[in-house]
Amino acid sequence: MRLKDFVLLLALAALWGASFMFIKVAVAEVTPVFLVAARTFLGVCAVLALLPLLSRLFPGQPGFSAKRMYSLWKPLLLLGVVNSALPFFAISWGELWISSSAAAILNSTTPLFAATLVLLLPGLPEDRLGVAGFAGLLIGVAGVAVLVGGGGGGAGGVWALLGHLAVLLGAAAYATGGLYARARLEGVPPLIPAVGQNLAGFLVVLPFALLFGLPDGRPGAVAVAALLGLGIGSTGIAYIIYFRLIANVGATKTLMVTYLVPAMGLLYGALLLGEEVTVPKLAGLALILLGVAGVTGRIPLPKRFRLLQ
C-alpha cells in the first residue's frame, strides 16, 4: 500500500471513528431521529456537491447517474432503511445511555453478525465458517459479554443494557445491509448506493423527525458543529474516501479500517469527551477484534478454515 493510500485509510478511520463522538455530543441537544435526518441529508448534499471533483479522483470510473439510481429505487429504499436509517437511529439512541467509545467498540461486531447470517441463511453466496470462523464467533461474543458486563461507560442498569443492545442492533443492520447490497447491487457504480441509500434513509425518517423529533429549542453551536461533522465528514466525505481506497487498493485492504475505527472511537472518547478507558473496554475491544480476525480469515490458518476470502 502506497503512503498516500495509507494516509487515506487513516483519514477514513479517523472520520468513521469520530462519528461516535459527534453522535454523543449531538444527542445531548437533539433527538436521535432528528440526528438521523440531519446526518443523511448532509451526507447526500456533501457527495452531490463534490461530484465535479470525483471525476478527477476516479478517472475512468463510472460516475453518478440519477437515471440509474431511479431504476434501482426498490433495493436502494430497502438499503436506506436497513443500512442507513435503522443503524443510524439505533446507535444514536444507544449513545443516550452508553459512552461513545463503548458504541464504537460494539459497532465493530458487524463482521460477526455477517458471519452469523451466513450460518443461518445458507442461500447466501458466501463461504461457510471453518474452525477459525467458529472460534472467532465465540471469542467475539465473549468480548461483547465482557464489555457489556463492565458497564460500557454508561449510567448502568436496564437503560445501559438497552443502550448496548441498540448499538448491537445497529451493527446487525449494517451486516444485513452489506450482504444485501453485495447480492443485489453487484456491478453498480458505488456512488449510486452512496447517494441513493442515504437519500432513501432521509426520506424515510423525515416524517418522523418533523412529527416527533424536532428539538425543543435551537441547538447550541457545539451540537450544530457535531451534526455538520457527522453528516459532511463522517458520512459524505468518508464515503468518497472509502470508494477511492477500494479503487486504489481493493476491498480487502480497505477493510483493514474495521480494526482502526473502534480504536479511534476509544481515543476520541478519552481525549475529547473525558470518557474513562476501563479494563472491560480494552479487554472487550481486544476480544472482539480477535474474533473479527478469525471470522474474516485474517488469522493465518489454512484457507479451508477461513470465511470471506
What pLDDT does 303 receive? 47
Residue-averaged pLDDT of the chain: 86
Please give the residue range of the domain that contains residue 54.
Answer: 3-305
Angle, alpha carbons 87-105-209 (nearest 5°): 25
Confidence of residue 27 (pLDDT cuts 50, 70, 90): very high
Q: Are 218 and 97 in contact (CB under 8 A)?
A: no
Q: How high is the pLDDT of residue 128?
A: 60
The total domain count for the chain is 1
Task: Specify the amino acid at residue 127.
Answer: D
Residue pair 113/140 in contact by the 8 Å Cβ criterion: no
- If one counts every other C-beta atom within 10 angstroms of the C-beta of residue 74, the result is 10
Determine which of 45-54, 72-81, 105-114 has the lowest per-residue pLDDT on average.
45-54
Residue with cell 461486531: 109
Question: How confident is the model over 109-118, as a mean pLDDT?
Answer: 86
**What value does the mean pLDDT take over residues 273-293?**
89
Higher pLDDT, 201 or 236: 201
Q: What is the pLDDT of residue 178?
A: 85
* pLDDT surpasses 60 at 300: no
Q: pLDDT band for 252, please (50, 70, 90 cuts).
A: low
- pLDDT band for position 293 (cuts 50, 70, 90): confident
Smallest CA-to-CA distance from 73 within 258, 197, 250, 246 is with 197
> Distance between CA 77 and CA 203 in Å, rounded?
9
